[in-house]
Each structure stands twice: as C-alpha cells, then as structure tokens.
Amino acid sequence: MTTVKVEEIKETDNTETQKETTKKTRTKKTTQTKKEVKSKSTINKELRANAKDIDVEVQSLVKGEVFYCSRKTGEILELSEIGDREIISLDLLMDISKRCKKLLSNLVISISDIYSEDYKLEDIIEFFGLKDLYSFKEMTLEEIDDFILNTDLTEFEKEFTNIQNENLKFRLIERSVGLVKEGLLDSTAKMKLFEVAYGTEYLYKNI
C-alpha cells in the first residue's frame, strides 16, 4: 500500500470564485424574485469566513492510502483505497491546498460534492483555481471510468488527444491500467492510445 506523503507535495495555482444566481417563485404568480448576485470576490470572502462551517466531499483517485492531518486544527483526511470518499470541512481543504496543492492539481483527490444551500460545487472548484481541470469531466472515479470504458472510440480518441493538462492525462492512463487489471478494459485501440500518450508499448505487458 502506498502512502501519499505531505512533505513531497508543493503548492501551486491561484484561486477564484464564481457568481451564483438563485430564484424564488411566489405562489400563483409567474414573477420571480432574484437574490442579490454576488461577485466572485464576495463569494471568495464568504467561503474563507465560513470555511469551518462548510462541508465538502472529496474522493481518492489513486491506488493506496491518502492521509493528511492539519497542523492547525488536527482535522484528518484519511482515504484507504481508490474511490473512497470522505466529508471534510472546507477549512481542512483550504489547508491542504495551501500546504499540499498537488493533492488537488494532480488529481490525487477530487472535490466531488459540497453540502451548502448558499454555494455550488462550481464555486468551490473556482475558489481553488481548478476550473480548467474540472471542465473536462466531473472529476469522480465513476465519471473517469465511464469515459474510459463507455465512450465511443472515435469520440474517445478526439477527447483524449485534445487534453492539454498532463496531470489529467496521466491520471487517465494510470486508471486504465487498473481497469485492465480488473478485467474491465479490453479495447486494444484505447489501450494503444494510452501507450502512445505514455511513450511506451509495454504499459500493459505484465498485467
């Protein structure tokens, strides 16, 4: 079992937030009253101020253990296996982003949900500067598997070869190896695309 060590991870990227519009419909009327549209900077400020009271769900996208303990609060993130999910505070995720940014930018863990009536998952994604990375797909293991296994070959080749983010491309390649080991991926054409992208023809040789 591999443990992801905090000391090996450096911080990167800036953060931004996203506008949110909500609607309220009154009974027997078609008129809708809009809440105040908040600027990105306002949402950013609110998220920081309320970070301890906002819960988010994260998921492991790697094989092996992921462990992180906040020096500030003692709150722990512990994911034992790929696909494991855990609900943590936004405060802890901010601490992870500050000290171990690559846990997020390298898709060691993904942000899969938020538990709040005031903010959306997109707000959190933008807050951590991950909008471009998450614009490809919803970054969950289930969505990644669905893309690899169920996307038509022509569409798959087009989408995969157009990926610019090397961290995302590597994570897809890594997951393909796991799917082959599990007996779920048997498309030689897709496997060949992964091998070309990784720069070897022996990616699946010992499986």
Same domain, residue pair 112 and 149:
no
Extended strands (E) in the chain = 3-4, 23-25, 32-34, 55-60, 65-69, 76-79, 85-89, 109-115
Burial class (CB in 10 A: 0-12, 13-18, 19+), 62: buried
Closest CA to 78 of 106, 11, 87, 138: 87
Distance between CA 17 and CA 126 in Å, rounded?
Answer: 5
pTM confidence score: 0.79
Residue with tokens 């846990």: 103
- CA contacts within 13 A on the Cβ side of 166: 2
Question: 127 and 183 in one domain?
Answer: no
Domain that holds residue 165: 141-198
Residue 206 domain-assigned? no
Whether residue 77 is found in the same domain as residue 106 = yes
Digit-coded pLDDT (tens) for 171-186: 999 999 999 999 999 9
- Is residue 113 domain-shared with residue 163, that is, in the same domain? no
Residues 123 and 175 in one domain: no
- Based on the fold, state whether residues 122 and 41 are members of the same structural domain: yes
Burial classification of residue 93, based on how many CB atoms lie within 10 Å of its CB (0-12 exposed, 13-18 middle, 19 or more buried): buried
The overall average pLDDT reported for the chain is 86
Tell me: do 147 and 124 sit in the same domain: no
Please give the helix or strand (H or E) that residue 104 lies within, else none: helix 102-105
Question: Among 131, 158, 185, which residue terminates a domain?
Answer: 131
Are 98 and 174 part of one and the same domain? Answer: no
Residues 30 and 110 in one domain: yes
Same domain, 10 and 96: yes
CA–CA gap between residue 139 and residue 61 (Å, rounded)? 9
Confidence band of 32 (pLDDT split at 50, 70, 90): very low
Give the model's pLDDT for residue 87.
98
SS3 58: strand
Asked whether the predicted pLDDT for residue 3 surpasses 80, the reply is: no
AA letter at 52: K
What pLDDT digit, counting tens, does each position of 56-66 carry?
999 999 999 99
CB 81 within 8 A of CB 135: no
pLDDT at 78 over 50: yes
Structural domain includes residue 71: yes
Is pLDDT at 201 greater than 90 in this prediction? yes
Q: Please check whether residues 39 and 57 belong to one and the same domain.
A: yes
Percent of the chain with pLDDT over 90: 76
With respect to residue 203, please indicate whether it lies within any of the assigned structural domains.
Answer: no
> Both 122 and 192 in a single domain?
no
Whether residue 184 lies inside any domain: the answer is: yes
Question: In angstroms, rounded to a whole number, what is the distance separating the alpha carbons of residues 4 and 25?
Answer: 48
Look at residues 110, 131, 152 and tell me which one is the last residue of a structural domain.
131
Domain count, the chain: 2
Domain stop point among 131, 160, 184:
131
